[in-house]
């Protein structure tokens, strides 16, 4: 298996525990990854969705096993919980099997540039118009993801490559575009005001690298629609990888279909997650 040699890899918005999670793609990425530091930039688990219904697959278990295996191998694995896994913020400052859990991170690139790394939901209040609009947006987004699932299944039958309906819709809906623009500016300005050379985040499921507010804005994207990762090479340059494209090109390594375990319970190795989420739900009042 060819390896992906880099200094740092940033991934976010994996949404483990839901059927939207594209775990087989992520597993393929992780198995090839050869890095010094791996940063999980939030929404690794979708604990919100898991409170309603858990969809767990063998590939999702393997993703977790592989992340721990990287930590065992000496990779500095950092986990910054997001809003969908905010229950794990109760564990900030601790370590689980070599994975450091942090609220955010100051990452220094090989070329000396410093980046402020956070999930990004802390900018929601500054970015969104109103709570009601946000909820409506969230509901239609869920609907789009559902539709996306069916479109993808259909295209699979027709032997067409993966194409994301919700990704397509998002770039064409004016309000979503405004939201993304405001998010990028707010996050970048915040990083600049703290003296950083750039910002690295996730949350909005829109991967990108762009100059904003005088600093470099980077978004890792997600693994529910786009399958993207932000990579720092050994010289300190940042690159965006679109892993679903990569897998499609490499036909010898077809990604297997991820069959959902419909028994819908947390796997035993994740039982601790249930108790953490229950405790934190009380403390945050959400
Ligand atoms: Mn988020």
Identify the CATH number of the domain in which residue 125 sits.
3.60.21.10
C-alpha atoms less than 13 angstroms from C-alpha of 150 in its C-beta half-sphere:
5
Distance 233 CA to ligand 1 centre (A): 26
Distance 44 CA to ligand 1 centre (A): 9
The pLDDT tens digits along the chain (286 residues) read 668 999 999 999 999 999 999 999 999 999 999 999 999 999 999 998 998 889 999 999 999 999 999 999 999 999 999 999 999 999 999 999 999 999 999 999 999 999 999 999 999 887 765 555 555 566 666 777 777 777 777 777 777 777 676 666 665 666 677 888 999 999 999 999 999 999 999 999 999 999 999 999 999 999 998 899 999 999 999 999 999 876 654 444 445 556 665 444 555 556 655 555 444 433 333 3
pLDDT of residue 115: 98
Residue 82 near residue 41 (C-beta atoms within 8 A): yes
Distance 2 CA to ligand 1 centre (A): 31
Distance 272 CA to ligand 1 centre (A): 22
Distance 145 CA to ligand 1 centre (A): 15
Distance 128 CA to ligand 1 centre (A): 14
Distance 158 CA to ligand 1 centre (A): 33
* Chain centroid, CA 97 distance in Å: 21
Residues 179 and 98: their CA atoms lie apart, in Å, by 36
Distance 205 CA to ligand 1 centre (A): 8
Distance 250 CA to ligand 1 centre (A): 31
User: What CA–CA distances, in Å, run from 44 to 10, 40, 153, 222?
Assistant: 12, 7, 24, 10
Residues 10 and 77: their CA atoms lie apart, in Å, by 10
Distance 45 CA to ligand 1 centre (A): 10
Distance 203 CA to ligand 1 centre (A): 4
Supply the range of the domain harboring residue 92: 4-284
Count: domains in the chain = 1
DSSP annotation of 264 reads -
Distance 157 CA to ligand 1 centre (A): 31
pTM over 0.85: no
Distance 246 CA to ligand 1 centre (A): 25
């Amino acid at each position: 298996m060819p390896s992906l040699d880099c200094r740092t890899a940033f991934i976010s918005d994996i949404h483990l525990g839901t059927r939207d999670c594209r775990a087989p793609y992520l597993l393929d990425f992780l198995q090839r990854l050869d890095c010094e530091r791996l940063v999980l930039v939030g929404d690794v688990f979708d604990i919100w969705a898991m409170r309603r219904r858990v969809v767990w697959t063998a590939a999702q278990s393997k993703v977790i096993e592989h992340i721990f295996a990287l930590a065992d191998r000496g990779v500095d694995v950092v986990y910054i919980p997001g809003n969908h896994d905010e229950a794990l913020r109760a564990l900030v400052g601790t370590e689980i099997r070599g994975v450091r859990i942090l609220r955010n991170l100051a990452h220094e690139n090989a070329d000396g540039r410093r980046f402020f790394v956070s999930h990004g939901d802390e900018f929601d209040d500054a970015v969104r118009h109103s709570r009601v609009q946000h909820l409506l947006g969230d509901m239609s987004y869920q609907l789009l993801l559902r539709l996306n699932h069916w479109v993808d299944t259909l295209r699979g039958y027709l032997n067409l490559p993966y194409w994301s309906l919700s990704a397509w819709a998002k770039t064409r809906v004016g309000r979503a575009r405004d939201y993304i623009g405001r998010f990028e500016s707010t996050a970048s300005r915040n990083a600049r005001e703290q003296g950083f050379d750039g910002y690295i985040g996730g949350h909005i499921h829109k991967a990108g690298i762009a100059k904003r507010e005088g600093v470099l804005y980077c978004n890792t994207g997600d693994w529910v629609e786009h399958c993207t990762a932000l990579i720092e090479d050994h010289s300190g340059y940042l690159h965006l990888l679109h892993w679903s494209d990569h897998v499609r090109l490499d036909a010898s390594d077809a990604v297997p279909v991820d069959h959902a375990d419909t028994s819908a319970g947390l796997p035993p190795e994740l039982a601790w997650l249930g108790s953490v989420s229950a405790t934190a739900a009380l403390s945050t009042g959400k």
